[in-house]
């Protein structure tokens, strides 16, 4: 067996050589045409020549994970970047821009109004603020310390998560209950808003009695209390853009980055006209609780361009592209002795790759492989990293060609630990 890349550099770290990277590109030259030059350029950037490396000495990742905020979210398509660059060339009335952008987004989402926020956490906070204050200037001035009675945010315990602190940051007090009847019993004249987490609809192993978002909405509608559904990271499926407003939600939160692939620092709050108007009064450029959540004119235009692009996409073709990349990686990994890889469907309509290895052939743990790939060249991020001989990945954030380098890097890292034949 020939030496692996990790054996050759003596570091024990998976390292695709420059020659190896170019060879991988060359293997698909006939299929990719002029895209080969772009692949070669990006492969070089993963190593030593990215803007992050030149300016700050940081090496970027080749991501085999989803659109996680901790690694920068998703990639913006060229047309979004161009729109933002053009927006930079002009000045505009920010009040008018906020209104026009909101009107456009609302038309796509099927709501009466919408607001561009500084990320989905900001949208959650501003939605809560709107429910607390309405258009009352004295109440707007008082936040985040409301002096009135109607300040409670009601939710189900199973819908609690780290980011619901956004509601508390607005000035709300969170009240939760384990059951549907428990929630109903806790509704009072103090209840200002009811919230639900869209993520539960696709989470396996929810505790018995977990309410789906539509059931949360029904409770609010029956008692005349505004319902906010957080669907920040739930695209795809594409119908998330309209699903919860159609079901009767008063406010819906969507991330502007992630699945929409707009600016990662943008978000959407869409819903009832009066509540959006109230949230707007709490937002920048007004001098209210949302002043520090300023959204630049470039980001607003970038988000509008992203929503427009998303609405026109052939979503089946997008999912098919992700699945083809996943199949390619699974095929490459499965060619190696001791490695098994397969596609595993998820609740969002596409497949991830799950791979495992025979530790009698490749005696290494998932945690060790995760660390090795993360520190290698290129730095490859996978999912997993436990003690067992398995890991996984998703192709959701990959550009064309990324799957070649990912498959090669993971395969070489694992075979670098293989026992001699």
Reported as a single tens digit per residue, the pLDDT across 99-141 is 999 999 999 999 999 999 999 999 999 999 999 999 999 999 9
Taking residue 391's Cβ as centre, other Cβ atoms within 10 Å add up to: 24
Angle between helices 366-375 and 402-415 (to 10 degrees): 130
20-34, 210-224, 326-340: the lowest-pLDDT one: 20-34
Write the DSSP string, 14-77.
-B--HHHHHHHHHHTHHHHTTHHHHHHHHHHIIIIISHHHHHH-PPPEEE-S---GGGT--PPP
Mean pLDDT calculated for residue range 393-420? 94
Per-residue confidence band for 47, with pLDDT thresholds at 50, 70 and 90: low
Residue 97 CA to its chain's centroid (Å):
25
At 271, give phi and psi (nearest 5°): 155, -140
Left (φ > 0), alpha (ψ -120 to 50) or beta: where does 209 sit? left
From CA 136, how far away is CA 156, in angstroms rounded? 29
DSSP-derived pairing of the beta strands 390-393 and 383-384: antiparallel
pLDDT in tens, 207-254: 889 999 999 999 999 999 999 999 999 999 999 999 999 999 999 999
Query: Across 60-135, where does the E strand assignment appear?
Result: 61-63, 113-117
Separation of CA 412 from chain center:
29
Query: Residue 98 has what pLDDT?
Result: 96
pLDDT of 14 higher than 70: no
Q: Is 356 helix (H, G, I), strand (E, B) or coil?
A: strand
Instruction: Give residue 44's pLDDT.
Output: 59
Structural contact between residues 213 and 201, judged by C-beta atoms closer than 8 angstroms: yes
The pLDDT assigned to 39 comes to: 61
Q: Residue 5 in contact with residue 373, Cβ under 8 Å?
A: no
Q: How far apart are CA 265 and CA 165, in angstroms?
A: 18
Separation of alpha carbons 313 and 308, rounded Å: 9
Average pLDDT, the chain: 90
User: Is the confidence at residue 6, as pLDDT, over 50?
Assistant: no
Contact present, 195 and 155 (Cβ < 8 Å): yes
When mean pLDDT is compared across 5-9, 66-70, 258-262, 312-316, the lowest value belongs to 5-9
Over range 391-413, report the average pLDDT: 95
pLDDT computed for residue 17 by the predictor: 46
The answer to whether 189 and 168 are in contact (CB under 8 A) is: no
Whether the predicted pLDDT of 150 surpasses 60: yes
Residue 41 is predicted with a pLDDT of: 62
Q: What is the mean pLDDT of residues 190-205?
A: 90
pLDDT cut 70: percent of the chain above it? 89
pLDDT (0 to 100) of residue 175: 98
| CA 347/CA 413 separation, integer angstroms | 30
3-state SS class at 331: helix
Pairwise CA distance, residues 107 & 102, whole Å: 9
Burial class, 328, CB count within 10 angstroms (exposed 0-12 / middle 13-18 / buried 19+) = middle
Sequence spans of domains, the chain: 18-75+315-415, 78-312
Pick the CATH number of 78-312 from 3.40.640.10, 3.40.50.300, 3.40.50.2300, 3.30.565.10: 3.40.640.10
Residue-wise pLDDT for 260-282, tens only, equals 999 999 999 999 999 999 999 99
Q: Which of 21-30, 254-263, 289-298, 337-346 is predicted with the least confidence, judged by mean pLDDT?
A: 21-30
Fold of 18-75+315-415: 3.90.1150
């Amino acid at each position: 067996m020939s030496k692996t890349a990790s054996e050759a550099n003596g570091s024990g770290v998976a390292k695709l050589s420059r020659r190896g990277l170019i060879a991988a590109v060359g293997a698909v030259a006939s299929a990719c045409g002029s895209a080969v030059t772009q692949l070669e350029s990006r492969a070089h950037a993963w190593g030593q020549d990215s803007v992050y490396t030149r300016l700050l000495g940081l090496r970027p990742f080749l991501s085999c994970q989803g659109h996680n905020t901790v690694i920068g979210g998703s990639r913006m398509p060229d047309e979004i970047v161009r729109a933002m660059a053009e927006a930079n060339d002009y000045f505009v009335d920010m009040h008018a821009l906020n209104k026009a952008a909101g009107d456009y987004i609302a038309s796509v989402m099927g709501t009466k109004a919408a607001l561009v926020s500084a990320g989905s956490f900001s949208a959650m906070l501003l939605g809560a603020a709107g429910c607390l204050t309405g258009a009352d200037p004295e109440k707007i001035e008082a936040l985040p310390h409301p002096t009135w009675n109607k300040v409670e945010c009601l939710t189900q315990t199973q819908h609690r998560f780290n980011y619901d602190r956004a509601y508390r940051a607005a000035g709300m007090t969170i009240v939760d209950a384990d059951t549907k009847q428990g929630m109903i019993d806790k509704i009072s004249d103090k209840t200002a808003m009811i919230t639900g987490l869209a993520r539960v609809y696709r989470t396996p192993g929810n505790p018995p009695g977990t309410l789906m978002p539509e059931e949360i909405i029904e409770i609010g509608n029956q008692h005349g209390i505004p319902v906010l559904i957080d669907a920040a990271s739930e695209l795809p499926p594409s119908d998330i853009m309209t699903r919860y407003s159609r079901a009767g939600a008063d406010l819906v939160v969507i991330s502007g980055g992630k699945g929409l692939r707009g600016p990662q620092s943008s978000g959407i709050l869409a819903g009832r006209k009066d509540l959006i108007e109230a949230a707007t009064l709490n937002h920048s450029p007004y001098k209210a609780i949302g002043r520090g959540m300023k959204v630049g004119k470039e980001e607003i235009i970038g988000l509008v361009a992203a929503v427009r692009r998303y609405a026109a996409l052939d979503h089946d073709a997008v999912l098919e592209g992700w699945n083809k990349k996943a199949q390619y990686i699974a095929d490459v990994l499965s060619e190696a002795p001791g490695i098994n890889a397969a596609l595993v469907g998820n609740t969002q309509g596409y497949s991830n790759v799950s791979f495992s290895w025979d530790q009698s052939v490749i005696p290494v743990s998932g945690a060790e492989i995760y660390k090795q790939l993360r520190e290698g060249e290129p730095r490859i991020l996978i999912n997993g990293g436990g003690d067992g001989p398995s890991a996984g990945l998703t192709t959701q954030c990959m550009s064309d060609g990324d799957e070649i380098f990912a498959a090669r890097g993971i395969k070489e890292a694992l075979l670098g630990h293989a026992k001699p034949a």
